[in-house]
Chain A
């Protein structure tokens, strides 16, 4: 850590924090914005990406085109220490913005996939995405109506998850509960790291 710190000294003598990204994914209405809002220490902010044309944002030709779309992403921040900050990004819901996910998940610590047991299939695309990319994720079942008919094991089976992927039940509106989901994720990432390091 010390070596990292010394490289990251700003010219004004201010220290540059290390930022870690966590993605909050899931279907429409699963509680992504709520979760980002309940754990963030700052008022959740929105950032926009303006997309030009349908061929993707990198196409210079698209800039002359008249069709632009604005994608809004929610994000929040948690300061762990002066040198370490956690950024939470709610992923854009629509499938056609997958390429934004690519950017978001670049170097991300991991992801939380929010599931609603009334519409479980909504989180399949997120799970497929993170499985394919090898991004570690946990599944968090958002129990808004405090009426939870399925346990974690049933959800895990229904989603056909690998045995070690944690499934937790929580209420996205509760900051403590939402933080516990993040703890679950980070611990899972650490376990995976230790296992892949050959123990």
Chain B
């Protein structure tokens, strides 16, 4: 198998070489920050003399083929927040000429967010449903306690939450377990701290984010709905530095600096107070304690292997809820991730990356002397991946990848009789993908790909072997694009999650049991983008997503012989509108989504808990200069679905079977439920404000951010406690502050 892949790759390269023009050269480069040497992702590079350009990728790399050789040309490199740089270049005929370009940060704080990720140069980039974000963009948003990547996603049209209490997100009608979260290409299985209130990803470790709401191309697999690809910082290659920050919840520390032929970065975060969590958890005190820690080291020595870059990274997070009371259970869960990558560029326009990874999740409910049942989940995911990208001189790209993933899951559950059973499994997924990006004409870009599962995690014979994907962009006019995507996606892992839980500790992962066919979705997406002026962008996207063989927890399971899961179906469709106005001083964006989502189980169709018909949000970001910036956001959602109470009856509770029968009346009202999720909560809306100031104090750079969540203290209903009649609201008016110190 390996042999055939290598042969295929070599064949592609040879074919490409034969048609490589000898009169022209290829320009390759990497764009970095001059002060830190961090890669600047999604920046713009243009050869002014030829009016041809490219955008940098998530590693800061760019490649422009067919550039006149042996002639001095001017290359303009621009990136928002940095001084635009014009450099003279001269290419060698028939060769790849490499330039390292360092941009100097602008001394005047310009508007920092409006153009990041827009890839204005590559007009035919196949990027429907793709949102690119730099960390500064996320930091500019009003913060709930502290900057959180997952919460920031909820400003994107098509991304939904079940309330501001949880950081879990739902994309285009898909469940939260259908979202793939990758840190430097490695899957994080439970990326949440503190009962799902915050993400485990410390923003300080992030360089850039690519978020695919659907229609993602063939290099991604294993999930039905979305991909969140997070690329981490490399660390400062020029000097040692340290950052410390503190919020009401955590203290953080970052250390970075150069090492011979490379750099390192260490980040750590630790909760020190859980009192702010009472605002999220209906005044309940949860003795939660969490931490996360990441490191990355890079090595790029041209004397060792020219064009190579090696990186070794790790990410570790842990949460503990330890109760002193022996009759209240304890909880702990953790993620441990290790990865090694070899990225290589050569003398030909070929990039390749070879990676080894290990992702491990452990979650445990320790009942101690309580009535709670024991539960322990372990996931071990070990993988090898190889990705090759070759760019032809006529700008088309071919991508080939090979991925081997060995996954072992264990889920130990205590049954009604106190007997522990293991629902775990172990299997390997070997997959190969190939995609061809047709980009040679500026008016059209097409990405055609196929993901082939040579072995599947599921032993069910109906597991899908082929996952075809197509993605296109058509430039009808320079200011007007039509985009579309179609694809088949398969997911062979699922969580044991109860749809009726609005807050849970963690969601155990298992390989879909063999008696179920792995779930499969089809995405159909069509959109248009209008940019009549540089400062105005308007886009619309419509989508239809059909999910088959959706595994759902069998809430009617009574006997141990009953299946744990049953099969359902999902369907969702909607339209998303985005308007963005930007200037050097301000950016205003508004997004509206009209969406519909359904699930069908046992022939009964119902709205999932995250089905929101109308979502509207406004976001205003202002940059006043001199380190001052501010933002305001207003979010409106029509009501979330809920299941109505259709009466009560006095239920007999076997509180104490030893009581004599004549004195018993152990009955309490039991709420009978109507058709699932047929009711709708009142509308949700909230205004958030944020002001931040950066300044220098002696040898330190300081940044103070003050945010206020739910400024007019809207009583947004979170849920109705049927057993007590209490209405529990979401976040009240919540002022927060963060201070950062940088050395």
User: Do they bind each other?
Assistant: no
> Interface residues, chain A, CB within 8 Å of chain B?
none
